[in-house]
Structure 1
Amino acid sequence: MDEVARDQFSLTFNGPLEAGVRAVAVLGSAFPRAYDIQRLTAFDYLLVRTHQLGGPDDLHPVTPIQTPATEVRRRVVQDALHLMMTRDLVVRIIDENGISYRAGESAAMFLDSLRTPYLAALKDRADWLVYHLADYTDAALDDLMRRFFDTWVVEFQTVERSLGARA
């Protein structure tokens, strides 16, 4: 029983529902554009950390280590997209460019119904992020995410040393 409670607690902002709402917000802001899983995974990280890009204040509180962990997040984002597809909030597109995702038929109505301060701020940041990164190629976005990963490695090494680990 403790294991179940611990797993539910650790998913407060990172479960399929929360990641799904973030994905719908991004895809709603980008409509009619579609994004692949790699871009959506990066956007999932950046959406709550817009200040690091020179944008609005971060949506989530600062933590000592802010790993982008995009490869770890990818599975959560995939699960989130599948969940949102069951409610017509996201549509999967398969074409000559591969697999991508676009806001579904119910996305605009769903997003309009979200009225809490947190969700209003999330939608504002999704608008900002999509506009800010609109012209980024896949290579440019990969470079941006690599910079965050490099920063994370340095932060992790600093914390590790402060905890007494040997260099």
Structure 2
Amino acid sequence: MSNGNLTFNGPFEAGMRAVAILAAAFPRELDIQRLTAFDYLLVHTEMLGGPEDLHPETPISTPATQVRRSIVQDGLHLMMTRDLVARSAREDGIVYQAGELAETFLDALQSPYSTELKSRATWLVDHLGSYEEGEFDKLMRRFFDQWVMEFQHVEQSLGGAA
């Protein structure tokens, strides 16, 4: 039985996006919170004033943070088994970095989608990579406020309580 909702959101796809993000950020290390946010923003770059979105618009584009975080973690674990992602423990938590084979793997991908994915990952890291934690959190709170309002609008249009 196939679940169409997972077309772009299974562990393999999230892992591919993570490898692209981490390769673009190399040698920088990213924590799971930043990777989860980048995973969402990578396919929704237009909201940042960037390139056209990589994935089509959906009725509710809320990132479902806890669900997305779990899928990103599963994707990272999958990619670690192939040396595409490396994990390190630091005093302030666990961080991830592009693995030894990440660049070679990404260079081998030549489909139009893969090319666009790599391009957007580079754009995203260049655009947001220098944000300090507080600045990045403020940006994400602004988007979260928009998503909450969007969700409430859709819920009301479906007959839910206001």
Given the two structures, how large is their TM-score scaled by the length of structure 2? 0.95
Identity %: 66
| Deviations 1:100-159 (CA, angstroms, capped at 9, x unpaired) | 000000001000011110110000000000000121112222222221211111111111
Q: Identify unmatched segments of 5+ residues in structure 2.
A: none
- Name the counterpart of 1:137: 132
Aligned partners of 1:22, 1:166: CA distance in 2, in Å?
Answer: 36
Q: Identify unmatched segments of 5+ residues in structure 1.
A: none
C-alpha RMSD of the superposition: 1.2
Aligned partners of 2:138, 2:30: CA distance in 1, in Å?
Answer: 17
Q: Determine if contact 1:17/1:83 at 8 Å carries over to the other structure.
A: yes
- Name the counterpart of 2:91: 96
State the Cα distance separating 1:63 from its structure 2 match. 1.6
State the Cα distance separating 1:9 from its structure 2 match. 3.0
Structure 2 residue identity aligned to 1:155? E
- Name the counterpart of 1:52: 47
Structure 1 residue identity aligned to 2:153? T
- Compared CA separation, residues 98 and 163, structure 1 to 2 (3 A): closer
Residue 16 of structure 2 is aligned to residue 21 of structure 1: yes
Residue 149 of structure 2 is aligned to residue 154 of structure 1: yes
* Structure 1 range deviating more: 120-129 or 147-156: 147-156
Given the two structures, how large is their TM-score scaled by the length of structure 1? 0.92
Structure 2 residue identity aligned to 1:113? A
Aligned partners of 1:157, 1:70: CA distance in 2, in Å?
Answer: 17
